[in-house]
Amino acid sequence: MEGNYLCIPGKFQGALFALLAFFLPSFAGETETRKFRVSVDGKPAGEMNLIIDKNEDASLTATMETDLKISSFLFFNYRYSYRGKETWKDGAILRLESVSNDNGARYSVLATRDGPGLRIRAGNQERIGRGDAWTTTFWKLPSDPNRRKGAIPLLDADTGKDVEGNIQFLGQAAVTLAGQQVNVNRYRLLTRVNTELWFDGSDRLVRQMWTEDGHKIDMEMIHLQRN
């Protein structure tokens, strides 16, 4: 699966806080934790944890850990793990560092800002890539509304490869996430696989769905905490 792609009565306080967490702006020094449940063909397959830190210089650092395991009675076993960290500022990526294991195939990527572009080292190869690329972790929508429709360049966070994508806005929907009903913005991203992405009022990922190798994969946020 290479390139995979949160003074009133006390009983209401917790619900209100969780609801507001989807929409209120974050402040310097704040840490946000989002936990996702991953299912494959409707069966539990693992989890993804996303931690977002807002730094003193207004940049954002997102740390991700993903672990998947798929087994079947037909002796099919698949494991995937990803550890990555990204830093963004003013809508541009400053640094990405990741290691992943795709069922035995190991990858490592380091991308750093180099003028208008990115210096990307993937394995033993190094090159200059596009500085306006959107990473395939999709943890946050592009800041520029004009980049939320049409062609968009992507940087595969697993392999460091360039990917050409096309993003389409599908509309809004009211859904229940982490126990709260909220409005989300839904997008479809067209690459070699078609991915549906849901973002909350802070433009951060709350759900991702795609089909790969004939398997339907659903990654849904189940917990949101800010402190």
Token reading at 194 = 């078609």
In the chain, the number of structural domains is: 1
How confident is the model at residue 25, as a pLDDT?
45
C-alpha span between 202 and 168 (Å, rounded): 19
- 3 in any annotated domain: no
Structural domain boundaries enclosing 95 = 10-226
DSSP string, 66-127: EEEEEE-TTS-EEEEEEEEEEEEETTEEEEEEEEEEETTEEEEEEEEEETTEEEEEETTEEE
* pTM attached to this predicted model: 0.84
Q: Is residue 111 part of a domain?
A: yes
Residue 4 has pLDDT above 90, yes or no: no
Domain for residue 5, yes or no? no
Per-residue pLDDT of 146-197, as tens digits, reads 999 999 999 999 999 999 999 999 999 999 888 888 899 999 999 989 999 9
The model's pLDDT over 39-68, given as tens digits with 9 standing for 90+, comes to: 999 999 999 999 999 999 999 999 999 999
Given 3-state DSSP classes, what are the helix, strand and coil percentages for the chain, each rounded to the nearest 5?
A: 5, 65, 30
Yes or no: say if 205 and 139 are a contact pair by the CB < 8 Å rule.
Answer: yes
User: Residue 9, SS3?
Assistant: coil
Query: What confidence tens digit (pLDDT) does each residue in 117-141 have?
Result: 999 999 999 999 999 999 999 999 9
Q: What is the CATH number of the domain that holds 218?
A: 2.50.20
User: Is residue 146 included in any domain, yes or no?
Assistant: yes
- Do the domain assignments include residue 1? no
Residue 126 covered by a domain: yes
